[in-house]
Amino acid sequence: MSAAPRERLDGMDALRAWAAVGVVVVHVYSLNRIVTPPAIAEVVNKFGLGVELFFALSAFCLAVGYFGKLGTEETIRRFMVRRLFRIAPLMYFMIAFWTLEMTRRYGEFPGWDALVLNVTFLFGLIPGKAEGIVWASWSLGVEMLFYLVFPLLCIFVKSWRSAAALLLVTLIVSIGCRWAILDGGELPKSFARQNIVTASPYFVMGLLAYFVWRRLSGLPQRRIVSHLLLGGSLAWWVLVGLSGLGSLRIGDLPVGHYAIGLAFPALILSQALHPTSLLVNPATVFVGLRGYSVYLLHPAVILYTMPLVRWIYGSTDTMKSGDWSPFIWSCLAVTAITIFLADVAYRLIEKPGVALGKRLLSRTASLPAPSPSPQTQAL
């Protein structure tokens, strides 16, 4: 796989950082049961869509790296091995951590069936199990399923037109799936969001951004186009916020979430064409490279820093007062601790895991092809 321009990768890494920090903020808010002024609460709750932004970024980056290069069984096998060793080492470490922690703290062993589902990344297929043993890991169950279908998308999606058509189809199917689960009452309501069908439009948004980026990346005016796209995405979010569209619900169906997500392709494109220093800088790139560790570690950090948050607020009563200042300080403190630990995990677990996968692929590539057996030759 040829290396992509470092500038473009920096833009995607930085957006990953913003998405990760957004998820940390919303979980500091929800897990500590903090009460903020309604206007702040409305904004904070939308930070959870950082997960869906992760999905779009993942699809974009995979498309840049692999589109047109997964035409054989061997290339697909190598792709899957790379993805597994990118995701599995830290996930397995956190599975062990949360299994021990939940057993010690609450006396709740997750069960061998749940362990098997999580180790094989099949938990995203099972309602009631899709949340995963690792807190917030439901997105990995969805992500790994996307890896399985990605080679097929490389075959059937060939242009921005086909990507746009697929986006329309997946939006309709996603809304229908979410509606059916929320309205049916037979499946856990959390599964309405935590499944590959519901998440599919966000992955396709990343593919759409990729095909448009391919057409625009050679433009001499790409800096101007970048600023227009960034301004347009921000203007769209302000519009959906002021109009109330971003908070629109039909029954339990959060239609507004889809409206907010429609700006993701423009946001990704803007930073792919020409990164903006306010969003893309050494600090955000540093965090973005560790975004996966930030995401998997942050629930544990929040759990262990609850006394710190209470100390910042002064009392649990103050946490319900609606004062926004201690909330901001709490978010800063928890985020800083999470980034520090994420850097440790990135260096000690993520990078060695990726290196192990590369060594495995290099060894298998150097092995001579097995001689066909007489039975094989006869077929």
The DSSP call for residue 17 is H
Q: How many CA atoms lie within 13 A of 243 on its CB side?
A: 12
Which tens digit of pLDDT belongs to each residue from 271-322? 999 999 999 999 999 999 999 999 999 999 999 999 999 999 887 666 776 6
Helical packing angle, 196-216 and 160-184, nearest 10°: 160
- Give the confidence band of 3 by pLDDT, cuts at 50, 70, 90: very low
Q: Where are the domains of the chain?
A: 6-363
**What pLDDT is stored for residue 8 in this prediction?**
53
d(CA 205, CA 166): 9
Q: Phi and psi dihedrals of 250, rounded to 5?
A: -110, 100
**What pLDDT is stored for residue 1 in this prediction?**
38
**What pLDDT is stored for residue 55 in this prediction?**
98
- Give the confidence band of 366 by pLDDT, cuts at 50, 70, 90: low
Mean pLDDT within 162-185: 96
CA angle 247, 242, 14 (to 5 degrees): 80
d(CA 369, CA 114): 38
Which tens digit of pLDDT belongs to each residue from 107-131? 889 999 999 999 999 999 999 999 9
Mean pLDDT within 9-31: 94
- Give the confidence band of 372 by pLDDT, cuts at 50, 70, 90: very low
**What pLDDT is stored for residue 302 in this prediction?**
97
pTM: 0.92
Strand-pairing partners, residue 250, are 253
Q: Where on the phi/psi map is residue 185: left (φ > 0), alpha (ψ -120 to 50), or beta?
A: left
Q: Tell the burial category of 277 from Cβ atoms under 10 Å away from its Cβ (0-12, 13-18, 19+).
A: exposed
User: Alpha helices of 128-187 — where are they, by DSSP H?
Assistant: 138-156, 160-184
**What pLDDT is stored for residue 317 in this prediction?**
66
Indicate if the pLDDT at residue 59 is higher than 50. Answer: yes
> Mapped to the 3 state alphabet, what secondary structure does 235-255 carry?
HHHHHHHHHCHHHCCECCECH
- CA distance readout (Å), 324 to 118, 275, 286, 332: 38, 31, 28, 13
Which tens digit of pLDDT belongs to each residue from 188-210? 999 999 999 999 999 999 999 99
Instruction: Kindly give, in sequence order, each residue whose CB lies less than 8 Å from that of residue 354, ignoring residues fewer than 6 positions away.
Output: 82, 85, 86
d(CA 158, CA 155): 7
Could you give the 3-state DSSP secondary structure of residue 88? helix
Mean pLDDT within 39-61: 92
- CA distance readout (Å), 361 to 154, 351, 355, 364: 22, 16, 10, 5
- Nearest of 181, 154, 153, 183 to residue 169 by alpha carbon: 153
Q: How many CA atoms lie within 13 A of 254 on its CB side?
A: 15
Task: Let me know: does 35 contact 320? Beta carbons within 8 Å.
Answer: yes
**What pLDDT is stored for residue 41 in this prediction?**
80
**What pLDDT is stored for residue 38 in this prediction?**
76
- Give the confidence band of 2 by pLDDT, cuts at 50, 70, 90: very low
Mean pLDDT within 244-270: 93
Strand-pairing partners, residue 174, are none
- Give the confidence band of 329 by pLDDT, cuts at 50, 70, 90: very high
Strand-pairing partners, residue 253, are 250
d(CA 276, CA 329): 26
Percent of the chain with pLDDT over 70: 92
